Amino acid sequence: MSRSSVVAKRYAKGLFQAAQDKGLVAETESQLSLVVEVIEGDANLRAFLTAPNITLDTKKQTLLQAFGAQVSPLVLNVVGLLIERGREGEIASVLAAYLQVAGNALGRSDAHVTSAVPLSAEEQAKLAEKFGALLNKKIRVTNTVNPELLGGLTVRIGDTLYDGSLKGKLERLDKALQSAAI
């Protein structure tokens, strides 16, 4: 496990504990997602946060002005602490670790489904139901479209990949034929 993922997990666990104590687990998740989305989507903001010649107080004050009304002090404090300790590049990793920690504690997992065509809400619900029964957890599905799959889909839940794509099947068939020809 890399050092950055260990650090992100520590911050995530602390944030989760504080959010759980206040009954704000879901709100904290959505607020941290908002912060990550804004920071990741704005190169100027990322450059501002990593600039060594800008004081920590200025960075924190800017974050407070940008997110103060939309984000709880709990989330702002964690983001501020990351910036204070020179770990502003870890904010997205903290979100990923927070989703995992919260999911484990609440019996929930996220399934990242990649398909050749967009899935309907009904198809996503069926996938969530099937994988929920398999893993005995509540599953949240996010769908990404990749036409290179040709057909079928891949489902990533945590570190496990379920590959039911036509492309994956063809690659496995190709490997089997190559190893049989040797």
pLDDT tens per residue across span 101-128: 888 888 888 888 999 899 999 999 999 9
Whole-angstrom Cα Rg for the chain: 20
Global pTM value: 0.68
Last residue of a domain, one of 72, 103, 134: 103
Total domains present in the chain: 2
What pLDDT is recorded for position 120? 93
What pLDDT is recorded for position 182? 65
- For residue 90, what are the contacts with CB-CB under 8 A and spacing of at least 6? 4, 7, 8, 11, 82
Cβ(165)–Cβ(149) under 8 Å? yes
Do 124 and 41 fall within a single domain? no
What pLDDT is recorded for position 46? 85
Do 15 and 76 fall within a single domain? yes
CB atoms within 10 A of CB 114: 20
Do 79 and 142 fall within a single domain? no
- pLDDT digit string (tens) for 34-68? 999 998 888 888 888 888 888 888 988 888 888 87
In the 8-state DSSP scheme, what is residue 78? H
C-alpha closest to that of 88 among 152, 149, 30, 4: 4
- pLDDT digit string (tens) for 1-28? 456 578 889 999 999 999 989 988 888 9
Helix H segments across the chain?
A: 3-22, 25-41, 43-50, 56-67, 73-84, 91-106, 121-135, 166-181
Length of the chain: 182
Last residue of a domain, one of 50, 70, 103: 103
pLDDT band (50, 70, 90) for residue 100: confident
Do 96 and 42 fall within a single domain? yes
Do 45 and 75 fall within a single domain? yes
Residues 105, 94: Cα–Cα separation, whole Å = 16
Domain residue limits at 133: 107-181
